[in-house]
Amino acid sequence: MKVDVVRNILEANDAVAAELNARLTAKGILTLNLMSSPGSGKTTLLERTLTDLKHEFCMAVIEGDCQTENDARRVAATGAQAIQINTDGGCHLDGAMVREACAKLKLDEVDILVIENVGNLVCPAEFSVGEDYKVTILSVTEGDDKPEKYPFIFAQSQVMILNKIDLLPYVNFSVERASSFACAVNPAIQIFPLSATTGQGMDAWYAWLRTERDKKRL
Protein backbone atom coordinates (compact mmCIF):
# COMPACT_ATOMS: atom_id res chain seq x y z
CA MET A 1 0.00 0.00 0.00
CA LYS A 2 2.69 2.51 1.04
CA VAL A 3 4.90 1.43 -1.86
CA ASP A 4 2.03 1.80 -4.36
CA VAL A 5 1.27 5.31 -3.13
CA VAL A 6 4.93 6.31 -3.44
CA ARG A 7 5.13 4.84 -6.95
CA ASN A 8 1.99 6.70 -8.02
CA ILE A 9 3.38 9.97 -6.66
CA LEU A 10 6.67 9.48 -8.52
CA GLU A 11 4.96 8.61 -11.82
CA ALA A 12 2.61 11.58 -11.58
CA ASN A 13 5.59 13.83 -10.89
CA ASP A 14 7.55 12.43 -13.84
CA ALA A 15 4.66 13.31 -16.15
CA VAL A 16 4.45 16.90 -14.86
CA ALA A 17 8.24 17.29 -15.10
CA ALA A 18 8.38 15.94 -18.67
CA GLU A 19 5.65 18.32 -19.81
CA LEU A 20 7.44 21.25 -18.13
CA ASN A 21 10.76 20.31 -19.71
CA ALA A 22 9.10 20.22 -23.14
CA ARG A 23 7.75 23.74 -22.62
CA LEU A 24 11.13 25.08 -21.48
CA THR A 25 12.91 23.33 -24.35
CA ALA A 26 10.46 24.89 -26.81
CA LYS A 27 11.68 28.27 -25.56
CA GLY A 28 15.33 27.25 -26.01
CA ILE A 29 16.02 27.37 -22.27
CA LEU A 30 18.75 25.24 -20.66
CA THR A 31 17.30 24.09 -17.31
CA LEU A 32 19.42 22.77 -14.44
CA ASN A 33 18.38 21.13 -11.16
CA LEU A 34 21.07 22.14 -8.64
CA MET A 35 21.25 19.83 -5.63
CA SER A 36 23.48 19.26 -2.58
CA SER A 37 23.51 18.95 1.20
CA PRO A 38 22.71 22.10 3.16
CA GLY A 39 25.65 24.48 3.12
CA SER A 40 27.60 22.99 0.21
CA GLY A 41 27.55 26.33 -1.56
CA LYS A 42 24.67 26.18 -4.06
CA THR A 43 23.70 29.82 -3.58
CA THR A 44 27.29 31.07 -3.51
CA LEU A 45 27.99 29.20 -6.79
CA LEU A 46 24.90 30.83 -8.29
CA GLU A 47 25.80 34.32 -7.09
CA ARG A 48 29.23 34.10 -8.71
CA THR A 49 27.94 32.46 -11.91
CA LEU A 50 25.14 35.00 -12.33
CA THR A 51 27.52 37.90 -11.76
CA ASP A 52 30.29 36.62 -14.06
CA LEU A 53 27.96 35.65 -16.93
CA LYS A 54 25.38 38.43 -16.65
CA HIS A 55 26.45 40.08 -19.93
CA GLU A 56 26.49 36.74 -21.74
CA PHE A 57 23.23 35.06 -20.70
CA CYS A 58 19.87 36.00 -19.28
CA MET A 59 19.54 33.66 -16.30
CA ALA A 60 16.66 33.04 -13.92
CA VAL A 61 16.63 31.15 -10.64
CA ILE A 62 13.97 29.27 -8.69
CA GLU A 63 15.06 28.93 -5.06
CA GLY A 64 13.79 26.04 -2.93
CA ASP A 65 14.10 26.17 0.86
CA CYS A 66 12.23 24.82 3.85
CA GLN A 67 12.01 28.36 5.20
CA THR A 68 13.15 31.98 4.55
CA GLU A 69 13.49 34.02 1.37
CA ASN A 70 17.18 34.71 2.03
CA ASP A 71 18.46 32.86 -1.03
CA ALA A 72 16.07 34.53 -3.49
CA ARG A 73 17.17 37.88 -2.09
CA ARG A 74 20.87 36.98 -2.50
CA VAL A 75 20.30 35.86 -6.08
CA ALA A 76 18.09 38.84 -6.98
CA ALA A 77 20.88 41.15 -5.79
CA THR A 78 22.91 40.04 -8.85
CA GLY A 79 20.15 41.41 -11.09
CA ALA A 80 18.74 38.01 -12.12
CA GLN A 81 15.08 37.07 -11.91
CA ALA A 82 14.54 35.02 -8.76
CA ILE A 83 11.50 33.29 -7.26
CA GLN A 84 11.47 31.63 -3.83
CA ILE A 85 9.57 28.43 -3.07
CA ASN A 86 9.20 27.61 0.65
CA THR A 87 8.38 23.95 1.17
CA ASP A 88 7.50 24.49 4.86
CA GLY A 89 9.46 21.43 5.91
CA GLY A 90 9.16 19.52 2.64
CA CYS A 91 12.42 17.75 1.78
CA HIS A 92 12.52 18.33 -2.01
CA LEU A 93 10.98 20.32 -4.84
CA ASP A 94 8.65 18.61 -7.29
CA GLY A 95 7.46 19.31 -10.82
CA ALA A 96 4.20 20.97 -9.76
CA MET A 97 5.96 23.44 -7.44
CA VAL A 98 8.41 24.41 -10.16
CA ARG A 99 5.66 24.71 -12.79
CA GLU A 100 3.84 27.15 -10.52
CA ALA A 101 7.01 29.17 -9.96
CA CYS A 102 7.73 29.23 -13.72
CA ALA A 103 4.36 30.91 -14.27
CA LYS A 104 5.69 33.90 -12.32
CA LEU A 105 8.90 34.26 -14.37
CA LYS A 106 9.35 36.15 -17.64
CA LEU A 107 10.63 33.07 -19.46
CA ASP A 108 10.68 34.52 -22.99
CA GLU A 109 13.92 36.37 -22.26
CA VAL A 110 15.63 33.54 -20.34
CA ASP A 111 18.60 31.51 -21.67
CA ILE A 112 19.39 29.44 -18.58
CA LEU A 113 17.04 28.52 -15.73
CA VAL A 114 18.56 27.14 -12.54
CA ILE A 115 16.35 25.43 -9.97
CA GLU A 116 18.13 25.37 -6.61
CA ASN A 117 16.65 22.45 -4.71
CA VAL A 118 16.18 22.06 -0.96
CA GLY A 119 19.49 21.17 0.71
CA ASN A 120 19.30 17.38 0.90
CA LEU A 121 21.52 14.71 -0.64
CA VAL A 122 18.81 12.02 -0.59
CA CYS A 123 15.20 12.88 -1.47
CA PRO A 124 15.60 15.38 -4.38
CA ALA A 125 17.27 12.64 -6.46
CA GLU A 126 13.89 10.95 -7.01
CA PHE A 127 11.89 13.96 -8.17
CA SER A 128 12.50 15.53 -11.56
CA VAL A 129 11.51 19.19 -11.72
CA GLY A 130 11.59 19.78 -15.48
CA GLU A 131 15.37 19.97 -15.79
CA ASP A 132 17.64 18.96 -18.67
CA TYR A 133 20.41 18.04 -16.25
CA LYS A 134 20.89 17.40 -12.59
CA VAL A 135 24.00 19.08 -11.13
CA THR A 136 25.09 17.94 -7.66
CA ILE A 137 27.55 19.83 -5.50
CA LEU A 138 29.77 18.08 -2.97
CA SER A 139 31.93 20.37 -0.85
CA VAL A 140 35.32 19.11 0.25
CA THR A 141 34.46 19.65 3.93
CA GLU A 142 31.84 16.88 3.67
CA GLY A 143 34.30 14.05 3.05
CA ASP A 144 35.34 12.19 -0.09
CA ASP A 145 33.22 9.11 0.75
CA LYS A 146 29.86 10.76 0.05
CA PRO A 147 29.35 9.47 -3.54
CA GLU A 148 29.71 5.95 -2.15
CA LYS A 149 27.38 6.52 0.80
CA TYR A 150 24.74 8.52 -1.09
CA PRO A 151 25.07 6.93 -4.56
CA PHE A 152 21.58 7.61 -5.91
CA ILE A 153 21.91 11.36 -6.37
CA PHE A 154 25.33 11.01 -8.06
CA ALA A 155 24.02 8.23 -10.30
CA GLN A 156 21.29 10.59 -11.54
CA SER A 157 23.54 13.61 -12.07
CA GLN A 158 25.32 14.68 -15.25
CA VAL A 159 27.67 16.93 -13.28
CA MET A 160 29.37 16.77 -9.88
CA ILE A 161 30.86 20.05 -8.68
CA LEU A 162 33.52 19.65 -6.00
CA ASN A 163 33.19 22.98 -4.20
CA LYS A 164 35.30 24.75 -1.55
CA ILE A 165 38.64 23.50 -2.93
CA ASP A 166 40.21 26.55 -1.21
CA LEU A 167 39.68 24.57 2.03
CA LEU A 168 41.54 21.44 0.81
CA PRO A 169 44.67 22.26 2.85
CA TYR A 170 42.65 22.13 6.08
CA VAL A 171 40.55 18.99 5.62
CA ASN A 172 41.11 15.31 4.96
CA PHE A 173 39.67 15.04 1.43
CA SER A 174 41.07 13.45 -1.72
CA VAL A 175 39.72 14.80 -5.01
CA GLU A 176 40.90 11.55 -6.63
CA ARG A 177 38.98 9.36 -4.16
CA ALA A 178 35.78 11.40 -4.45
CA SER A 179 36.02 11.33 -8.25
CA SER A 180 36.67 7.62 -8.26
CA PHE A 181 33.63 6.92 -6.02
CA ALA A 182 31.45 9.14 -8.24
CA CYS A 183 32.66 7.44 -11.44
CA ALA A 184 31.98 4.03 -9.88
CA VAL A 185 28.26 4.85 -9.59
CA ASN A 186 28.17 6.99 -12.75
CA PRO A 187 31.01 6.56 -15.27
CA ALA A 188 29.68 9.41 -17.46
CA ILE A 189 29.58 12.06 -14.72
CA GLN A 190 31.51 15.26 -15.42
CA ILE A 191 33.46 16.63 -12.48
CA PHE A 192 34.41 20.27 -11.87
CA PRO A 193 36.61 20.97 -8.83
CA LEU A 194 36.25 24.67 -7.99
CA SER A 195 35.86 27.30 -5.31
CA ALA A 196 32.81 29.53 -5.66
CA THR A 197 34.38 31.74 -2.99
CA THR A 198 37.78 32.38 -4.61
CA GLY A 199 36.74 31.76 -8.22
CA GLN A 200 39.37 29.05 -8.80
CA GLY A 201 38.18 26.47 -11.35
CA MET A 202 35.03 28.36 -12.37
CA ASP A 203 36.13 28.62 -16.03
CA ALA A 204 35.58 24.92 -16.75
CA TRP A 205 32.07 25.15 -15.26
CA TYR A 206 31.33 28.22 -17.40
CA ALA A 207 32.62 26.44 -20.52
CA TRP A 208 30.24 23.54 -19.80
CA LEU A 209 27.32 25.97 -19.39
CA ARG A 210 28.15 27.64 -22.74
CA THR A 211 28.34 24.31 -24.56
CA GLU A 212 25.09 23.01 -23.11
CA ARG A 213 23.25 26.29 -23.69
CA ASP A 214 24.43 26.25 -27.33
CA LYS A 215 22.84 22.81 -27.80
CA LYS A 216 19.46 24.20 -26.68
CA ARG A 217 19.59 27.31 -28.87
CA LEU A 218 16.63 27.50 -31.28
Shortest Å distance, C-beta 213 to its own copies: 29
Q: Is 67 in the site for its own copies (CB under 8 A)?
A: yes
Centre a 10 Å sphere on the Cβ of residue 166 and count the other Cβ atoms it contains: 16
Per-residue x/- marks for its own copies, 97-126, CB under 8 A?
---------------------xxxxxx-xx
Distances from the Cα of 188 to the Cαs of 5, 72, 185, in angstroms? Answer: 32, 32, 9
Among 14, 23, 57, 91, binds its own copies (CB under 8 A): 91
Tell me how far, at minimum, the Cβ of 24 lies from its own copies, in Å.
Answer: 26
Concatenate the DSSP letters of all residues of 128-151 into one string.
--S-SEEEEEEEGGG-TTHHHHSH
Which of 47, 65, 94, 132 is close enough to bind its own copies by CB under 8 A?
65
Of positions 7, 15, 22, 39, contacts its own copies by CB under 8 A? 39
Task: Report the site for its own copies in 125-164 (rule: CB under 8 A).
Answer: 125-126, 139, 141-143, 145-146, 148-152, 164
CA dihedral (94, 21, 121, 125) positive or negative: positive
C-beta separation of 46 from 75 below 8 A: yes
**Dist. CA 58–CA 124, nearest whole Å:** 26
Strand residue runs (E) in 36-189:
59-65, 81-86, 112-116, 133-139, 159-163
For 91, phi then psi, to 5°, come to -95, 0
Residue among 91 and 107 whose Cβ is closer to its own copies: 91
Please count the residues of this chain forming the interface with its own copies, following the rule CB under 8 A: 40
Other residues' Cβ atoms within 10 Å of the Cβ of residue 7: 10
In the complex, least distance from residue 30 CB atom to its own copies, rounded to whole angstroms? 27
Identified binder of its own copies from the candidate list 21, 31, 33, 37, rule CB under 8 A: 37
CB crowding 180-205: b at 16 or more within 10 Å, else e: ebbeebbeebbebbbbbeeeebbeeb
Q: CB of residue 143 vs its own copies: minimum separation in angstroms?
A: 5
Interface positions with its own copies (CB under 8 A):
1-2, 5, 9, 37-40, 65-68, 70, 89-91, 118-123, 125-126, 139, 141-143, 145-146, 148-152, 164, 166-167, 170-171
